[in-house]
Amino acid sequence: MARILTDEFIERRHRFPQRRFQPVHALLAVEVLVALNLFVAGILLFGSQGPGLLAIGALAGFACVGHAVWIQKRENERRAIDARWHEGVGLTERLKAALGEDCYILEDVGMPGGWRRVPVRLLAITPRGLFVIEVRFWRGLVEGAGQDAWWTLRPAPGSKPFRVPNPLVELRRQVEAVDRHFQRGGVEWPDIQPVLVMDAPGTEWRIEEASTPILDPEAAARHVATWSAGRAYSIRKIDQATGRLREAL
C-alpha cells in the first residue's frame, strides 16, 4: 500500500474553509438586526422626523441582501471544494490500495513555474515511473481533440453544450513544471507520464487524437500500478525524487 506524503497538509486545508465562514454569518445576523431596527424606527418616527431614518433603514436592508448573496456565493464555492476534496480522496484511496509500499502519492502540489506556481492535483511515484494526474469532475458528454484548446461539454442529453478548456493543455504544463523542477534540483527522471481522470459517475468522453490516457478512477489506478517503460528506479532515486517534490509543498 502506497504512502500518502501530504495527508496532514491536505487535512488542514480541507478543514480551514469551513471555519472561516462562521463569523461572517454572525456579522450578517447583526447587520439584519440593525437594518430591521432602523426600518421600524423610521416607520414609527416618519411623522415627526421625516423619511430620512426610513431611507437609511432601507439602504441597510439592501446592503444586507447584497452581503447575503456574497455569503451564499462563498458557501457554494466551499461546497464545490468539499465535493472535489471528497471525490479526490476516492481516487487517492484507489491509488493507495493499488500501489505497493515502495510507491508514494502527493496531492495538490504547487510546482514552481516562473512568476506563479503550477498546481498539480496528484503525483504518484513508483519504481516504474512518475505519474502526473489531473482530475475533472465534469458530468455529461465531453467531446474534442487532443490538440484543441477547447472541448465541449453537454451536461445532459438534449441540453446545450458549452466550451471547457482542454485539460490536456494544462496537464502538459504540469509535466513540464515537474520536469523543470527536477532538472533544477539535479534529479534525473525521464519517465514522467501524464494521466487525465474523469471522476464524475456517468461521464462519457469522445476525445480524438489524444496520446494521454483518459481514464475513470479505477482504470487510472490499474494503469499507474502496471505501466512500465522497461526500466526500474532504485530506492535511492525514488528518495531523491520525493525529497525534491517535498520542497514544492
**pLDDT at residue 13, as a whole number:** 46
**pLDDT at residue 89, as a whole number:** 56
183-230 pLDDT per residue, tens:
999 999 888 999 999 988 889 999 999 999 999 999 999 999 999 888
Phi, psi (deg, nearest 5) at residue 118:
-100, 115
Phi, psi (deg, nearest 5) at residue 144:
165, -165
- How crowded is the C-beta side of 198, counted as CA atoms within 13 Å? 20
Which segments of 62-199 are extended strands (E)? 104-113, 116-126, 129-136, 141-145, 150-154, 162-165, 192-198
88-111 burial: b if 16+ Cβ within 10 Å, else e: beebbebbbebbeeebbbbbbbeb
**pLDDT at residue 78, as a whole number:** 57
| Statement: the pTM of the whole predicted model exceeds 0.85 | no
Spans of the chain below 70 pLDDT: 6-24, 74, 76-89
Angle at CA of residue 2, ends 18 and 222, nearest 5°: 100
- How crowded is the C-beta side of 15, counted as CA atoms within 13 Å? 5
Angle at CA of residue 125, ends 121 and 130, nearest 5°: 80
Delimit the domains of the chain by residue range: 3-8+91-246, 14-78
